[in-house]
């Protein structure tokens, strides 16, 4: 095992988090999860596997929780039956069990595409099914996602929802910073400046172009992953803005993320963004019809229905601009499946579905099969039982959020934003995700949504959230507070109707 320079920096930050508490940890983890092309640790004994910064930092957050009994109890409570956390726990544990047993039970029974790491070769290879390092690493990632879910569900229930909203908004701003840095260094031939955050043992697709447009990858290995994270953060920040959450810079961050999605050249981002925009539109229409809408909901609805078509028609009147846009759309959407990448991904899915049949619907085990759709990855890796468990988890999460009536308090606004972000991530994953684990960002947003659905563990939320940067005393586990926003910052949520 070797620790990278970025790992040393994160270790120092992690030790601070252990002492300072989850407020600091929330910000550090939300930034660390953006470093998708980085490795904090390299594990040569596991075929050169990389430990990503987010999972490395998560270990320090777990230690911080273990040192605070009240927070640990809240974590366990957030995983209790019949809440969404219970079903996420069952899904995770079942997935890990499949990684242990199914590759050995069905060894050699089918041929799979899986990730190969060795000194001579790294890539996706077609091989007979057998147990490998991917089973172990994917199990670790799944357990990490469960821990992340529990920590932030507990933290939100203890009054930290506002802090998480600010941390994810900051993550959106940092995501934009890396996107700009990616484009600028590419245009100036100085991409090596970003090598410190592109040190993982992944295939880096950071120099691609489509129709003259640079494929934006930001701090991730490829454009699709950037689009996945940018869409999730855009949806979250957009919902905060629509619900008038009292945080500065929401509009600039949301607009910047929206522009980045348009320029990303990611097919996944385009299709998932369109579907997500319709979901948000439906939310706004429901708000308006129930008499709870604001000028922001109305503006979004009018923009989607009228303004967007007018902008498109205006662009069509400028031949050179429209030619570039239509060429990009043609390359990323209409002919995507005809490209080498599209054909390769279809082969992955076809082989994964064949393995699903060959294993009698049980799957080949978590981490055994590489696919190009979350649905296919679920079926091929964890089979029908695992897929059913995930569906139950999502249903319980939506149901828990939907049954809550106070959607205009701080917890409600953050919970709804997190729920829409979860749905956006699932939509993007269904289009192109290669694995079962949806990552730390999904775990964080799912935890925030579950916290709202389950309900708080303290006195009225506005009392705690009037002091929005909670830290926890290392010995007593009692909350302390740093100066931040004033009670006036939360006036729209304290006893009002939630509208500004």
Residue 235: pLDDT above 90?
yes
Closest CA relative to residue 420, chosen from 439, 404, 403, 397:
397
* Range 476-487 average pLDDT: 36
| Residue 128 CB coordination number (10 Å) | 10
Q: Are 134 and 368 in contact (CB under 8 A)?
A: yes
Highest mean pLDDT of the ranges 81-85, 92-96, 123-127: 92-96
Residue ranges per structural domain of the chain? 74-469
**What pLDDT is recorded for position 494?**
33
Q: Are 378 and 430 in contact (CB under 8 A)?
A: no
**What pLDDT is recorded for position 24?**
93
Over residues 92-123, the pLDDT tens digits come to: 999 999 999 999 999 988 888 766 555 454 55
Q: What CA–CA distance (Å, rounded) separates 328 from 82?
A: 47
* Range 127-137 average pLDDT: 86
| Residue 329 CB coordination number (10 Å) | 14
386 burial via Cβ count (<10 Å: 0-12, 13-18, 19+): buried
Give the chain's mean pLDDT: 83
**What pLDDT is recorded for position 464?**
35
Q: Are 101 and 129 in contact (CB under 8 A)?
A: no
Task: Tell me the backbone φ, ψ of residue 283, rounded to 5 degrees.
Answer: -60, -45
Q: Are 408 and 350 in contact (CB under 8 A)?
A: no
Q: Are 269 and 220 in contact (CB under 8 A)?
A: no
**What pLDDT is recorded for position 47?**
61
Where helices occur in 318-409 by DSSP H, the ranges are 319-329, 340-358, 374-402
Over residues 298-321, the pLDDT tens digits come to: 999 988 888 777 777 776 767 665
Confidence of residue 385 (pLDDT cuts 50, 70, 90): very high
Q: Are 409 and 104 in contact (CB under 8 A)?
A: no
* Range 218-240 average pLDDT: 92
- The CA–CA distances, whole Å, from 175 to 168, 178, 179, 218, 232 equal 10, 5, 6, 7, 11
Task: Tell me the backbone φ, ψ of residue 129, rounded to 5 degrees.
Answer: -60, 130
Q: Are 63 and 20 in contact (CB under 8 A)?
A: no
**What pLDDT is recorded for position 416?**
94
Q: What CA–CA distance (Å, rounded) separates 468 from 161?
A: 9
Closest CA relative to residue 383, chosen from 13, 21, 103:
103
CA geometry: angle 152, 99, 358, nearest 5 deg: 130
Over residues 143-183, the pLDDT tens digits come to: 999 999 999 999 999 999 999 999 999 999 999 999 999 99
Residue 289: pLDDT above 50?
yes
What is the CA 150 to chain-centroid distance, rounded?
Answer: 15
CA torsion through residues 278, 283, 287, 289, sign: positive
Please tell me which residue, 420 or 265, carries the higher pLDDT value: 420
Confidence of residue 69 (pLDDT cuts 50, 70, 90): very high
**What pLDDT is recorded for position 244?**
87
Residue 67: pLDDT above 90?
yes
Please tell me which residue, 286 or 116, carries the higher pLDDT value: 286
Residue 288, H or E segment = helix 267-289
Percentages (nearest 5) of helix, strand, coil residues in the chain: 65, 5, 25
Over residues 2-58, the pLDDT tens digits come to: 788 888 999 999 999 999 999 999 999 999 999 988 888 877 666 667 788 999 999
- The CA–CA distances, whole Å, from 193 to 189, 219, 303, 374 equal 10, 12, 39, 33
**What pLDDT is recorded for position 471?**
36
Q: Are 450 and 85 in contact (CB under 8 A)?
A: yes
- Percent of the residues in the chain that have a pLDDT greater than 70, as a whole number: 82
**What pLDDT is recorded for position 83?**
92
Over residues 183-205, the pLDDT tens digits come to: 999 989 898 888 888 887 777 77
């Amino acid at each position: 095992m070797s620790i990278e320079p970025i790992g040393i920096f994160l270790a120092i930050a992690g030790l601070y988090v252990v002492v300072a508490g989850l407020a600091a940890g929330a910000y550090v983890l939300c930034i660390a999860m953006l470093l998708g092309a980085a490795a904090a640790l390299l594990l040569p004994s596991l075929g050169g596997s990389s430990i990503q910064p987010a999972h490395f930092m998560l270990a320090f957050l777990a230690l911080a929780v273990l040192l605070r009994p009240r927070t640990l109890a809240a974590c366990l409570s957030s995983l209790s039956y019949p809440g969404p956390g219970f079903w996420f726990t069952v899904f995770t544990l079942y997935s890990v069990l499949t990684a242990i047993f199914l590759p050995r039970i069905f060894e050699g029974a089918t041929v799979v595409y899986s990730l190969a790491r060795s000194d001579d070769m790294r890539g996706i290879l077609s091989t007979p099914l057998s147990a490998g390092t991917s089973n172990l690493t994917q199990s670790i990632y799944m357990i990490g996602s469960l821990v992340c879910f529990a920590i932030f569900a507990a933290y939100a229930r203890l009054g930290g929802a506002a802090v998480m909203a600010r941390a994810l908004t900051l993550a959106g701003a940092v995501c934009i910073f890396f996107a700009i840095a990616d484009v600028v260094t590419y245009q100036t031939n100085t991409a090596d400046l970003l090598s410190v955050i592109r040190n993982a043992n992944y295939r880096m697709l950071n120099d691609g172009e489509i129709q003259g447009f640079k494929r934006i990858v930001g701090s991730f290995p490829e454009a699709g992953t950037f689009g996945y994270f940018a869409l999730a953060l855009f949806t979250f920040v957009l919902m905060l803005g629509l619900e008038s959450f009292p945080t500065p810079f929401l509009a600039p961050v949301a607009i910047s993320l929206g522009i980045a999605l348009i320029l990303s050249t990611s097919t996944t981002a385009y299709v998932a963004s369109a579907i997500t925009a319709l979901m948000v539109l439906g939310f706004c229409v429901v708000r308006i019809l129930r008499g709870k809408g604001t000028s922001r909901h109305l503006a979004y609805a009018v923009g989607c229905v009228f303004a967007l078509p007018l902008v498109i028609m205006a662009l069509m009147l400028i031949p050179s601009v429209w030619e570039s846009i239509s060429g990009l759309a043609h390359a990323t959407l209409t002919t995507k499946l005809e490209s080498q990448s599209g054909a390769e991904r279809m082969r992955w899915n076809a082989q994964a579905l064949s393995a699903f049949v060959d294993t009698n619907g049980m799957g080949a085990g978590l981490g055994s099969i590489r696919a190009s759709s979350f649905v296919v990855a679920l079926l091929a890796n964890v089979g029908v039982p695992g897929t059913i468990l995930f569906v139950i988890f999502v249903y319980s999460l939506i149901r828990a959020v939907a049954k809550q009536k106070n959607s205009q308090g701080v917890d409600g606004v953050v919970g709804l934003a997190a729920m829409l972000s979860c749905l956006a991530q699932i939509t993007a994953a269904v289009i192109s995700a290669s694995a079962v684990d949806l990552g730390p960002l999904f775990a964080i947003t799912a935890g925030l949504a579950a916290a709202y659905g389950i309900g708080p563990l303290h006195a009225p939320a506005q009392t705690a959230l009037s002091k929005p940067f909670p830290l926890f005393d290392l010995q007593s586990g009692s909350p302390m507070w740093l100066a931040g926003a004033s009670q006036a910052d939360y006036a729209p949520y304290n006893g009002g109707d939630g509208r500004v």
